[in-house]
Structures are given as C-alpha cells and as structure tokens.
Chain A
Amino acid sequence: MRLELRDITKRFPGVLANDGISISADRGEVLGMLGENGAGKTTLMNILSGLYRPDSGEILIDGQSKVFHDPADAIGAGVGMVHQHFMLVPVFDVVEAVALGAETVSGVLGRFDRAVARARIVALSEQYGLDVDPDARIENLPVGVRQRVEILKALYRHSDILVLDEPSAVLTPLETEELYGIIRSLKATGTTVIFITHKLNEVLEVADKIVVLRRGRVAGTAIPAHTTRQELANMMVGRDVELVVPKGPASPGEVVLSIRDLRVRDDRLEIAVDGVDLDVRAGEIVAIAGVQGNGQTELVEAIVGLRAIDAGEMSIGGERIEHATPRHIADLGVAHIPEDRGRDGLINQMTVAENYILDTYHREPYSRRGLFDLRAVAARAKQGVVDFDIRTPSIETTAASLSGGNQQKVVVAREFSRPVRLVVAAQPTRGLDVGSIEYIHRRLVEQRDAGAAILIVCTELDEVLAVGDRVAVMYEGRIVGVLAGAEATYEAIGLLMGGAHFGGAAA
C-alpha cells in the first residue's frame, strides 16, 4: 500500500474533527473522498500534508510509519497538495512559482538557477501533457491553467501522492473535463491521487474507490461501479435525502421582474453586466447559470438596489426601480438571499432574533415610537426558528456560532417573513451540505407554487437542472442563451457557460 492513514484522530477546541479515520490508497489508484462541509476532509488532508499534527494515529508511506512536523516533511515523503485556494504567488512567473521552496541554486550566495528549473518544468509538462507557458506570469493565467501549475508544483517535488482539495470548485465544466484527463494520465504513471469533493458526480467519474466521511468518521466506502448518487448522498448525510426536490411543471403568470438592456459596473468600474434582457414571471424559477465572476453578482446587486446601474431599465410588477433604495425594493416584495451570507446576509455578532428583524426592525410590531418591543421581537423570532427548523440553542445565540446551513435558514426565514413577490437568491446553497440544499430547494419551490417569481443564481450545473424551470446562461456579462425544458441539458448549458454561443430563445 503506497499510502495508509491509520486511526487518525484530531481534536480542536470543542470539535472532534477527525475521529479514528483510516484510509488507504495504492499506486496508480484514485481515491475519491466525499463528505459534507465540516465532515473532516480538509483537516485530514492538512494532517497528510504536514500542516497539522494528529493527536493520535499514524501515517504510513509504503508501510513505513512517518511523522510530518511541517509541510517540508510531507513533501519529502512524496505528498503533494493542490489546495482549493491556489498557493501561487501572483506576481511570479510559472518557473518561480513552481520552484519556490525547492529551488536549484549555485554559488555561495545561493543564486537561483532559473534555467535548470525551467528545463525541468518544460520536461514535466510534456511528460504529463500539462500545457503551460513557463514564462507566463501567474496572475495573467486562467484558473484552469493555474491549477495545472499547482499540479506541476507537486510533480516538480517528485510527489507521487497527489491530494486535490475541491479541485473543480473554480473550474468551468470544460476545464473540469480536462482535469479528469490529467488525473487519468497521472494515474497511468503510477501516481496515487486523492480527490476531495462534495460533488457526487465527480467521484463517480474519476475515482477507483470512494470513502465517505461524516462528522469526522468514515461513514462508508464504495466502488463507483457498484453505487449510486443516491446511496452516496444518504451516506454523506446519514439519512435518506432527496437529491432533486420534486416539483410539478411551472405555471408562469404575469411578468414580475423585467430587465431591459441593463449595464452595471463592478468595483473596479469595469462593465460587468453588459446589456442584459431578462423577464421573470410569477410562478416560475429562472436559474442563471454561469461560472462565478461573469457578472451574476453585479446583476443581483443591481436588482436589489445595492449597486448603482450604468444604463438600462428595471421594473418590479411594473414599478421602475433603477434608482430605488434597497428598502423600497424590499417593500415591493423582494426577498434577497445574498451570495455571501456572512458579509451581506447576516450580522455575525448579532443574535438570531436581531438578525431575524434586520429588514423590518423599524416597523410595528417590532418598533413603537422608536423603541423596540422586545417581547414581540422574541415571539416572532421564536416562530421563525420553529417554522424554518433553525437548529439553534436559543434566539439569543449569535449568528456566527451557527452552522452554515442554519445561518442560511435564518436568512431565508427573515426574507420570507415578509410578503414575497420576487425571490432573488444568489448561490443560496453555496457551501451547504446535501441536507441543507434539499431544504432550501424545497422552500424555493414552495414559494414558486405560492405564486412568487424566483430568480436563482447557481454555479453548479446540478442545481441549475434541479430547480430551474428556465435556464439563462450568463457569460462575460451577457445572457448568451435561455434554455427551457428538453433543451436544457448538461452539455448545452456547459458549452454556453464556457462561452460557446449558439442561438437560444430570447428571454
């Protein structure tokens, strides 16, 4: 066995992150590691890469017990880690970024021998089919190429145990396909690959065997050929979950949100939304698909009044809102589930009850003549906690101490506590586990069936297909296609997300 982790336990203050985890992987084997957030995947990999030391348990490489005091030890033992957030110096070129920490030097002053490093990088990228320009600056490279640089970095250090932490999180579907190709060629040369993800399709696609982690323990193992998405999902969550929330066909009514030729700039004042036309009708869910950073954030912020627009028209229920304040827009019946709940959805240091009334604190029954009616606040917040199944010790608990899923439920409970005509949900399930995703989707479908118009921004194709009645694909600030029903396939949307244009029906 090339790599074996035996009975690894790691405790942080108040949390048992890893509880007797044992896994193993052989040469040329791809081990898929599946688990929800907080299941202990990242802790385990940080132990393997020498960033943390386990409280107990051992790491065996080729049957030999090893202790990693720091990342250098792990690298020395052949473990290469590709972090989810790339660890590359943006202003370095590829040669410098790859060689950092493992430089070839000459002379007493330690001159960096760039030519030697460059030659080795060129040779490696040819050997493994990793197409990279060694002299390009990191910050000018697309994300997919940066990931290849990260892999080169590991190979440059003679790593033959490669850990990929959520590698597809930032990739387009096409880039993800390329990544699978790279993993297969690594496997063919005898490299052991550990592929960490919470996406079910991915492990089924590339892994030879799958380990599912739940609450710091191994919940089960599986072989891709003999398992299903459903089975893996149940294993991850520990109960039966619905991967696709059942919903009937949409019955679209009148147009609620109407957008014409909208132009919006981002924080750097560059055009981010570039002439978007979109209608969302009552009783339908329109999913905006696209790789993150294609203008979705700015579009949503413009709709809810958080960002000034450059040009264009927007109306909700016929009322123009180009220059409306966020409060005015909320009063029109708009519920907003923001992309970054920690920054825009909640005030982390405030309590669940305070967060629950953030949008209506100034009104009756919460405020009377400028003073809070704390009893009314408590009563309503308690009701919200019950209605939305928020798992919190009390309504006086701070938002920061809740889990991601429960934080999101607080946001949803607040937003749905007002009469809702339009829901604008930006990546409402980002970072949530399968169980919470199921819950949020169910609530959105409920609102649709109650007659609300829903606009949801997703970066995951699975989510787009699961909830969207219509799918609008956004690329470089434009809607490049709107697909509905049978047209909305994985392939068609994936192609559009990568920038391939073809004629879709106008919205």
Chain B
Amino acid sequence: MSAPATATHAAQGLAARRALRFARIRGVTFAALGLVLLYAAAGAFATPAVFSFWIDKQGGESAELQTTVGILWMVAGVASGAVGMLQLFRGTAFPWRRWLLVLMLPVLAALLAALLNGTSANLTGVLGGSLELAAPITMGALAGILSERSGMLNIAIEGKMLLGAAVASIVASVILNATGNPLLGALSGVAGAMLVGALVGLLLAWLGIRHKVDQIIAGTVINIGALGITNFLFLRVLGRNTELNTPPTIEPMRLPLLADIPVLGPILFSAKPYVYVAIILMLALTYMLFRTRWGLRLRASGEKPAAAGTVGVNVLAIRYRALLLAGLIAGLAGSYLSLSTAGSFQMGMSAGRGFIALAAMIFGAWHPIGAFGAALVFGFADTSQALLSILGVQVPPQLLNSVPYIVTIVVVAGVVGRVRGPAAAGQPYEQA
C-alpha cells in the first residue's frame, strides 16, 4: 500500500515539476539534434543517395529511389525538430519513446546514405533481414512478457531457446531420416522444440512457485544447464553422428497475392514463416492481455497477486500456465536458430538472443507491440553487420559482431530509462 494520498499532494506537485523538467530537457535535446542534422545536410546536397528495391524477386527488376544525402539529413533534421517541438508543447503527456522509434527511421536512412557516399545499395535484403532477425527476438520477448505479466521473472529464455534449437535439429533430422519427408521433419522439429521449451518452463515454475527458489537464480541455473547439456550433446553425440544434425530447413514462404505487391511484397510477404508467426503472436497476445478476462487476471497476478487471490482467482495456476505458454513460444523461437538459419545446431548458437529478447521486452515496456518495435531495432542492428561489411567499411569483424549487443546496452541503459514493469514480478505468492 502506498502512502496515504493526502500526504503526498505537495510531493506529487514536486514530482510533476521534475517530470516536466525532464520533458523540457528531452524536447530541447530533440530540437538540438534536429539542428545538428540540418547542419550535416548543408554540406551534403551534392552527394547522391540511391536506394533500390527488388520489385518482385531477388535479382529481378529493381525500383530506384534517387535523392541526395543532404535531403535525407534534412528530412531527419526536420523530423527531429518536430518531435522536439511536440515534446515541448505536450509536456509530460508526450509518448516520446514511441516517437523516438519513428524518428530512428529517417536518421538511419540518412546515416546509411552518408556511409554509402554515392554508391547505390539494394535495401530489400536489409529490411527483410531485419524483419527476419527480429522474429526470434520478438517471440522471446513475448515469452518474457507473458511470464513477467503473470508475476514470474523469466531470464531462462536464453536457455529455452538453446535447448529448443538443439531438440529441433535432432528431432527434425531423425524424422527426416525415418520418413524422408522434409516438411514432416521440420514440423516435428518445431513441435519438439516447443515441447522442450514448455517442459523447461514448467521446471522454472515448479522451482519458483512450489519451492520458492529465487527466480533469477532458478533462471540462471537453467541457462547454465542448457548450455552444458547442449554442448555435451554437440560434442559427444552430434559430432559423431552427423546424421542427427542435418535437419531439413525452413525456407521463406511467399504469401499468395500479397507477395506480388511491388517492392513491399519481397520485403514483407516472402519472408520465413517465423516472421508471420511472430507477428500473429504479437497481435494475439496484445488482444488477449488487454481485452480478455484471461489477460485481466494474468495482469492482476503480476501486479498484485493478493488482490486476485482474495476474489477467488487461482494465482498459482495462472502463473504455471503462463510459464508453460512462455516456454512453448521460447522453444519455437529456438527452433528458428537451427532450422532456419544455420541448417544445423551449433554450440551456444542462441548467442545471447534470449537476453536481447528481455531487453526488447523492457524497451517495449512489457507491451507486445512495443517489444516488436524494439526487436526490429535489434534486428536492424544485427543485419547492419552484414551491410557494413558489404559496404567495405573498414571495421574489425569482431566489432561488427558486437553491434547488436552494443545497441542493447545503449538502449537499455540510456534510452529506456525507468519503465515500470509488473509490480509483483519475482515475488513468490503464498496461496492459502
């Protein structure tokens, strides 16, 4: 229970003033950034910026977008200035995080053009790649949102993804070898990954709920255990029996009609099925969380479990089910790694994506749509590695590889600031 409201009127006034001050600082910062961008524009109107997009398919005809770097900088600058003005006028009510995400688009486009320095670049691959790499991160973040909204900290997503990747590859290989049917093999692999994710989710729930093990520690144990088990599997089993690690791969799927839309079709609708599933899950979870009885009770369990318990809601059952569901989704995300990128399982191939997913969850303020937006940023950071090396930018590859992680740190530490998560996440609930 917070302090009585009568007591804090004066204090609330002060808090409001402080929030307003920060809002002003943000507004001025955006405006100043706008000026810097406009300054950059001034010297760059002579440099052409040429972006091209495949119209119908990779290597086919392409549409070109021709402008100059200066114009792009100017657009970004004006946009930044506009966001700054909006922030100044609207004060604390201004949803600046959302607008910051929007603002990133023109800034990144201009930055890209400036780095290209006149050479033409095809963006279809970059944008499609961002979307594809965002898919597992989105799913991981959704798993995190489900857990934490129900009151369970879930840092074991990394471990679930890794185990999911290993199991997907093995199951898919075995079924493929047995039946010769790649589709059946792939689907079985996905199902196996989801099943193992769910089992690990239940293990986490059992430790955290039944035995009240600290949820951070339980998650850490699972992550370490998953790494150990999969490394062992890879070195001792898969290494000697390579036929167990040659799964069928899941390839991009053209959506009829939609994939024929010029320019957009190749980016959005010729993607891997994981992209479609991630988007569908994001929308479904948004609806379920905020529009249904199930969501209301789940959120109540994560914010104030005693309030739910005293009106007859079974908080512990809700938490078990949430972790089960989260495990299914995290396992699915894991199957992407082995079935859709590498074509086989590799040691430690989750490479921190489970943690990046948690960062996306936080950046997205525990909202599925926000998390997807954040995942796109991380996905772009990931693909930009490839892009930058194509551009021949002289940067050591190790540094390029660390771009997604650097972006994570910057985003979580700098941009997000304090977002409020579910109040009771991580606290065991004693049900009478």
Contacts and interface: CB of A to CB of B under 8 A. Distances in A.
B4 A268 contact: no
A87 B15 contact: no
B310 A91 contact: no
A143 B11 CA distance: 16
A498 B308 CA distance: 32
Given A86-B1, A111-B292, A101 B308 contact: yes
A294 to B, nearest CB: 5
Contact of A89 (B5, B287, B304): B304
B98 to A, nearest CB: 19
Contact of B303 (A51, A90, A476, A498): A90
A101 B288 contact: no
B307 A87 contact: yes
Given A89-B303, A271-B11, A52 B432 contact: yes
Contacts, number: 124
Question: 10 closest pairs, A vs B, by CB?
Answer: A72-B312, A101-B311, A293-B7, A270-B11, A142-B5, A293-B3, A87-B307, A110-B293, A103-B293, A89-B304
B65 to A, nearest CB: 42
B311 A90 contact: no
Chain B interface helix/strand/loop/mixed: helix
B304 A294 contact: no
Interface stretch (B130-138, B237-245, B294-302, B347-355): B294-302
B312 A112 contact: no
Interface string B299-325: 110011011111111000000000000
Nearest to B420: A91
Nearest to B291: A111
Contact of A100 (B6, B287, B307): B307
A292 B4 contact: yes
Contacts of A266: 11
B236 interface: no
Contacts of B293: 103, 105, 110-112
A409 B358 CA distance: 50
Interface residues of A, number: 54
Contacts of B311: 71-72, 75, 87, 100-102, 153, 157
B interface residue count range (under 10 / 10 to 19 / 20 to 34 / 35 or more): 35 or more
A276 to B, nearest CB: 13
Contacts of B15: 268, 270
Interface in A448-503: 475-477, 498-499
Contact of B7 (A52, A88, A153, A476): A476
B389 interface: no
B421 to A, nearest CB: 11
Contacts of A270: 8, 10-11, 14-15
B296 A291 contact: no
A139 B312 contact: no
Contacts of B11: 266, 268, 270-272
B9 interface: yes
Nearest to A272: B11
A86 B297 CA distance: 17
27 contacts: A52-B432, A71-B311, A75-B311, A81-B310, A83-B310, A85-B1, A87-B304, A90-B304, A92-B303, A97-B307, A100-B300, A100-B307, A101-B313, A102-B311, A110-B293, A112-B296, A142-B6, A143-B6, A170-B1, A170-B4, A172-B6, A270-B14, A293-B3, A293-B7, A293-B8, A294-B7, A295-B7
